[in-house]
């Protein structure tokens, strides 16, 4: 994360807490990039951080939405952390198996690849915890 993405995350966090965004309201990356004068990748990093904190969540199309209510934030935070724990457990199993994906059933290996792609490179490197 860069200083700019941290600053955008802080501004969005305050805006969500202030009530500028309704619960479930879409957080458009292009609009936020224009608003904060940043590249979309910087906004994406900020939204990823907010997702891990529970302030934002992604839908099936990978669009972000605000979690304005306390209850929604807490649920999102738990779900995100569970995803991260499950990914870490799968990674540990791969290391213990020694044979990587060859040592696992094809279905389990495919599931881990899918989850790894969804969590992104920062989570795979352990930066999200």
Partners of residue 27 on adjacent β-strands: 64
As a whole-number percent, the residues of the chain with pLDDT over 90 amount to 50
Helices 29-36 and 40-53: crossing angle in degrees, nearest 10, is 110
With contact defined as beta carbons under 8 Å apart, do 45 and 55 qualify?
no
Q: CA 20 to CA 108: how far, in whole Å?
A: 42
Calculate the average pLDDT of the chain: 83
What local confidence, expressed as pLDDT, does residue 129 receive?
39
Q: CA 55 to CA 82: how far, in whole Å?
A: 16
Partners of residue 26 on adjacent β-strands: 65
Phi/psi at 58 (5° precision): -105, 145
Q: Which residue is associated with the tokens 């479930």?
A: 24
As a whole-number percent, the residues of the chain with pLDDT over 70 amount to 75
Mean pLDDT of 114-120: 61
What local confidence, expressed as pLDDT, does residue 116 receive?
64
Higher pLDDT pick, 93 / 18: 18
Phi/psi at 2 (5° precision): -100, 170
Question: Over 50: is that where the pLDDT of 127 sits?
Answer: no
């Amino acid at each position: 994360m860069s200083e700019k993405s941290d600053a955008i995350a802080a501004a969005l966090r305050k805006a969500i807490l202030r009530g500028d965004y309704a619960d479930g309201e879409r957080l458009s990356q292009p609009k936020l990039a224009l608003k904060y004068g940043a590249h979309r990748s910087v906004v994406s990093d900020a939204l990823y951080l907010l997702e891990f904190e529970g302030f934002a969540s992604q839908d099936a199309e990978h669009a972000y939405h605000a979690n304005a209510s306390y209850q929604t934030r807490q649920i999102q935070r738990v779900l995100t952390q569970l995803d991260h724990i499950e990914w870490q457990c799968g990674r540990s199993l791969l290391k213990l198996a020694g044979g990587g994906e060859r040592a696992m059933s094809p279905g389990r290996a495919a599931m881990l690849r899918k989850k790894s792609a969804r969590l992104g490179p920062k989570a795979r490197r352990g930066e999200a915890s």
